Structure 1
Amino acid sequence: MTRRLAGLLATVLTLLALLAVQPALADDRSASAIADRAQYDALARTTTTGRYFNTPQLMFVIDRADRKADPAGRLYFINSRRYDFHVTFVQQTYLSSRPAEALVAANYSQPNRRFIFGSVVFYPGLQRYGVEFFEGDALDAAVLGETMTALKAHFFAPLALKPNSHQQYELASGVGGIEIIDGAAAYGSREVLVLNPGKAVGRLRVVGEITPQTDLRRDDIVMLDVPPIQLEPVAGVITTAFSTPLSHVNLLAKSWGVPNAYRRDARAAYAALDGQVVVMTAKDDMVTLRGATPAEARAAARRAKGAVKVPKADLAYAGLPSLDEQRRTDSVRVGAKSANLGEVRHHMARSGTTDFAVPPGFALPFSAYDRFVRANGLDKVIDALLADPALKTDRAARHAALARLRAAFAAGTIDPRLMEAVKARRRAVIGEGGVFARSSTNAEDLPGFNGAGLYTSVPNVVTDAQLADAIRTVWGSVWNDAAYEAREAARIDHRAVHAAVLIQQGMNAEASGVMITENPFDPQEPDAVFINAKRGLGMRVVEGKRVAEQLIYHGETQGSLQVLTSSTDDTMLSFDEKGGVREVRIEEGRFVLTDALALRLAKAGLAIDAWLGGAAQDIEWLTIGDRLYVVQARPYLRGH
């Protein structure tokens, strides 16, 4: 409901209230107690998108002004199938004739509020119930304590609190007798989560975990117990371990336009279909597999994906442009990753913003890659590799040939004059200290081909010798196994692919992660930002092996922050003083981001979204102390 509609509704209800005597509540509007599961199910609402992730929720209101029935106030378990919002119930049952905005302002932020609003949510994976409050609700200990006491006295099953904000977590720890359900347990334990909906026909492959020996085809539907960091193109993905919308696997699934879903019991339910051609359907809160009919199998075999065209690279340009000298149109010279950061720095300078920064850097353009390849005779090696028909069908031979090619890149000679220019540019633009050598190719962020995570970036490069090695590594990563397989599936001309190298100031992050400037569970919500965060360097955030701290910023509800899950990591990655990174132990259970940093992060994301054309963005960020940095911005690929 929009604010205008809410205001009009409230005005009409106010006039009706003046003309009518307050009626008793009808039985189908609410209940004063919930006696069993059947009564809960009759009143609870299950939504397919948004905040509650397909879990049943039963809204409640406590009217603290009516203490006749209970010292804590009169409790209403709302028929949540009939009423969309707490304030709608309050208005339409004449408990208050105040406008919707006034009710929200008075009853979500004041300790002396008249009404307490919340929900009792059932978590299918845990088979238990939790109490949730709006993440922007400024609860105090008294309100929380009396709410839990009242609910427990009138609900048939044990209740715990599922906090939805940092403030609620901290508050609950100071109120005795309240059990807490963590977000990872509540939502990570769900039986099913559709990350990218769709329908696919293909051969089911139950492989457990991806290894270098795993041979998958484009028409395979793969079932995994461990979400992989990389995956070559397939027709569909099912995991039996909880993952997140920002895992690389899900970003890849979106780019391929294939269904991707988590179902805990998938192996038990469908392992018998291993090796057969099946139909996978992932929609709402449902993931199913069934054997394909002969006609469906034939139709799937006939379908072929059209070739993805790679933008032509400008191989005449030979400069080493700093980020301040780059704009989005320079992507034909240095790739979108580098050019987009140049665009962001341009807008930051124009707007005068100081709330976040983009670390300084410069780029080796595509032409440097092209000259290196030809000078070292690698163009002939590449031609021979691509011409060998055996490599089309022999995965082991293909893997070995690509490894040899990358080794040839690593052993190649960079023009000494170019390296001298790179070293001088590094000191002029960045100064001393470690740098990141980041890949920025012309085969990323394309319509129909995302390219996320296919190419290699090298962290914390300290010495000049390490920098030369890092540049060769980035160039050689054009021929990573996963990159090659993905381009094959998209019918991309491998020879048209070129790699630029963004050399950027190294930042030893205390926290880092990824955010997208929309709510992936409710894409229609305006001004929303979904944030994944972990402590330390950010290489692990998109892996999907451990649950990150996940937050949603809701811009339309007074900039509230909703905590979905907390981070489960017990180690983090940090710079090693000799170069590279090392793993260090960390204290478990602490929040990664403060509310203040998370709010600044969300606002930075929305600003970048606007600067880059208003399309949802996938943004990598990091923090050091209270300083916020952005190190990548690329279009976010929605589900198909």
Structure 2
Amino acid sequence: ELHEWEQINLTKTPAQTESMTLGELTTILENARSLVEWSSGMVKAYYQDIVNEYSSFEPKAYGFIDDKIRGSIALYLGKTVGELGDFIAKESALTNNVMGIANQSSIRGLNPGFAFGELVVIDGSPDDIEVSSSKIYVFERPPADLKPIAGIATVSEGNLVSHVQLLARNLGIPNAALSDENLKNLIKYNGQKVFYAVSNQGNVILKAEGKMSAEEKALFLKKERKEERIEVPIERINLTETKILNLREVDANDSGKLCGPKAANLGQLKKMFPERVVEGLVIPFGIFRQHMDQRMPGQKGSYWEFLNDMFAEAERMREQNIDETEIEHYQLLQLATLRAAIKNMRLDLGFLHDLEKDFKSILGENLGGIPVFLRSDTNMEDLKDFTGAGLNLTLFNVVDKTKILQGIKDVWASPYTERSFKWRQKYLLNPENVFPSILVIPSVDVDYSGVLITKGIISGNESELTIAMSRGAGGAVDGQAAESYVLKPDGSYRFLAPAREMYYNALPETGGTQKTLATFEKPILNSQNIKDIRAMAKAIKERLNKETNSDYQGAFDVELGFKNDKLWLFQIRPFVENKKALSSDYLESITPKIDQNKIIALSKKL
């Protein structure tokens, strides 16, 4: 689109005609690479859905998009950009070492980390793939419900702030973007054991097990569980509060006490920016536990006793040296039983009465009169050391009273899904102590929505802001190809990527979601939106820690949206990066020191 071309601005004449700095050349490379990626993204946006439909009965149809791209000028542009990338990589020493394949300059790291495991290359849809936490995956695009894995590389990176990307960054899972050609060149190594590392500067190593150095092998010596995992504090949890709370009554101090951080932090934002946050009600931990103490049908004890008996039995199995795979299989079967029982749980009559009354008094309509979001909010997410982004259920735009009541039970059951359990089990010391609260807020049928990170994700610059926005509700968080920017402290910005989603979620008053066709001829954000985001980020940085007496020094991850150019806030949490990955001696050792001021003669041959 024309506005995208204007953002790249490749028509600028270099200030020096005979030479340029390495930094200036790198900027040209990034812009030219963007042109290739955005062109490919446009083809995928228009054809991916229909290709997926045809591929279900004719696998060869999956190659249509690749053929379409390769049959255009983008093929030759891509080759030229690759040559420039190889040249710059050589001059800067920022080189990749990926199984000796061609055109490695198109590979770039997204999240630092290292891993060892079997390489699995998926040339097709990833949605039906059962992943393993010990394997390294190369996808065309990441599945939205990704379970724990050792490492990941994708052709369609989605965006920098999707839930998958946030989890990878939080947990030190190496993550890189590569080209379609790179993926196809890696297929022949499918099934091999490999070492995979992404440095803090974004260079990527992927090598066969036999080529690992002694230092690289030493990275995977067995460590104690407690050194690898995080313990979530539970001593503050108050399970005696069994009344529904007004969002206005909770704030950041109630996080992990009465409710999860999602509701507590939104309540804090409601106090700070009342006109930017909707009204809401909170179903606290105590109501969940009250229901879990009921007798579980078909069992001798309560739901809670069934859950704890499962964890106790798993520990007994470990003491008997039973294989961990068998233990996990047992736990998943028990959790499936528990999940089904919770979904059919009888809701307490007193709770139902309070819900009807408080819904009317807080939201101004009878239960079933307006659409609402039901957001799972556990004590094991949005923490300083563990994000848990997207692991539990959020129900969009529910209106019908019966569906709201069923939705409450579905949300309570969601922490016990296989995906949620596996992530917690892998990274938390006490995953059994999960308590869900529920945040109930009226739907806002936003024109566009997304995520603000109050730092530069790519540069690490604390003075920058990173934004990803998509049309409609639920923007950017599920890996959509979102419109993305870096906002600079001097008032300028860098356009990172355009939106490339053909359909977006509208929220009709009758409930549910409506897929609406998008067009790309205009950018999503306007100049006033960007000014409003800057002002909001400034206010959050200046006020939030002071008003909550917090010693947190990091960046924030903010979910927001615009309706008729009014900014609405929906969530805020710490932006969690993996400290071990960022400070790893090994990753530091493979991170080159680049002299961006190095002079390159333009007469030098590629």
**TM-score, normalised on structure 2?**
0.71
CA distance in 2, matches of 1:627, 1:122: 32
1:551 and 2:514 matched: no
User: Match of 1:337?
Assistant: 262
SS at match of 2:204: strand
Tell me, in whole angstroms, the C-alpha distance in 1 between the residues paired with 2:287 and 2:444.
26
Instruction: Show the 5 A alignment for 1:379-394.
Output: 379-386=304-311, 387=313, 392-393=324-325
**Over aligned residue pairs, what C-alpha RMSD do you find?**
3.3
Equivalent residues in 2 for 1:182-581 (5 A)? 191-208=106-123, 209-211=125-127, 214-217=130-133, 219-264=134-179, 265-283=181-199, 284-293=201-210, 296-297=216-217, 300-304=220-224, 305-312=227-234, 313-331=237-255, 332-348=257-273, 357-375=276-294, 376=296, 377-386=302-311, 387=313, 392-393=324-325, 401-432=334-365, 433-526=370-463, 528-538=464-474, 540-544=475-479, 546-554=480-488, 556-557=489-490, 559-581=491-513
Task: Out of 613-622 and 392-401, give the one that drifted further.
Answer: 392-401
Q: CA deviation at 1:121?
A: 6.7
How has the CA–CA distance of structure 1 residues 561 and 410 changed in structure 2, closer, same or farther, with 3 Å as cutoff?
same
* Contact 1:231-1:482 at 8 Å conserved across structures: yes
Structure 1 runs not aligned, ≥5 long: 1-51, 62-75, 86-117, 131-156, 159-188
Query: Is the alpha carbon distance of 1:583 and 1:402 closer, same or farther for their aligned partners in structure 2, counting shifts above 3 Å?
Result: farther
* In structure 2, distance between residues paired with 1:279 and 1:340: 40
Task: Map 1:144-183 to 2 at 5 A.
Answer: none
The residue aligned with 2:32 is 123
Assess, with a 3 A threshold, how the Cα gap between structure 1 residues 519 and 57 changes in structure 2: closer, same or farther.
farther
Instruction: Tell me the percent identity.
Output: 25
Cα distance in 2 for partners of 1:429, 1:317 equals 18
Residues of 2 paired with 1:213 and 1:119: CA distance?
38
Greater helix share, 1 or 2?
2
- Answer whether contact 1:202 1:220 (CA < 8 A) is retained: yes
Q: Which moved more, 1:445-454 or 1:203-212?
A: 203-212
Contact 2:141 2:158 in 1 (8 A): no
Q: Does 1:60 align with 2:4?
A: no
CA deviations on 1:52-95 (whole Å, 9 max, x unpaired) are 99x9999724xxxxxxxxxxxxxx4374328989xxxxxxxxxx
What is the Cα deviation at residue 382 of structure 1?
A: 2.1
**Greater RCO, CA 8 A, separation 6+:** 2
Q: Unaligned 5+ residue runs, structure 2?
A: 1-6, 40-75, 78-103, 297-301, 546-552, 583-606
Equivalent-residue separation in structure 2 for 1:450 and 1:235 (angstroms) = 17
What are the superposed Cα offsets for residues 351-377 of structure 1, whole Å, 9 maximum, x if unpaired?
xxx5xx011112111111111111143
Contact 2:371 2:509 in 1 (8 A): no
Cα shift at 1:329? 1.0
| Per-residue deviation, 1:561 | 3.6
- Alpha-carbon distance in 2 for matches of 1:329, 1:121: 44
Deviation at 1:584, TM superposition (A): 2.1
| TM superposition shift of 1:280 | 0.9
Tell me: CA distance 1:412–1:121, structure 2 relative to 1, closer, same or farther (3 Å).
Answer: closer
Q: How many angstroms does 1:318 deviate by?
A: 2.6
The 1:440/1:124 distance shift into structure 2, 3 A limit, reads closer
CA spacing shift, 1:83–1:236, aligned 2, 3 Å: closer
Deviations 1:561-590 (A, max 9, x none): 432222112211122443221212233433
* TM-score normalized with structure 1 length: 0.67
Any idea what SS the aligned residue of 2:258 has? helix
Larger radius of gyration: 1
For 1:271, give the aligned amino acid.
Answer: I
Question: Which secondary structure does the structure 1 equivalent of 2:205 belong to?
Answer: strand
Aligned-residue offset at 1:399: 5.2
| Cα gap change, 1:578 to 1:381, in 2 (>3 Å) | farther
From 76, 81, 89, the equivalent of 2:21 is 81
Q: Of Structure 1 and Structure 2, which has the larger fraction of its residues in strand? A: 1
C-alpha distance in 2 between matches for 1:593 and 1:402:
43
Q: Is the 2:386–2:576 contact (alpha carbons within 8 Å) kept by the matching residues of 1?
A: no
Could you report, residue by residue, the CA deviation over 1:283-311 in whole angstroms, capped at 9, with x for unpaired residues? 33432211235865575151355332122
Tell me if the contact between 1:455 and 1:483 (Cα under 8 Å) persists in the aligned partners: yes
CA 1:413/1:392 → structure 2, altered by over 3 Å: closer, same or farther? farther
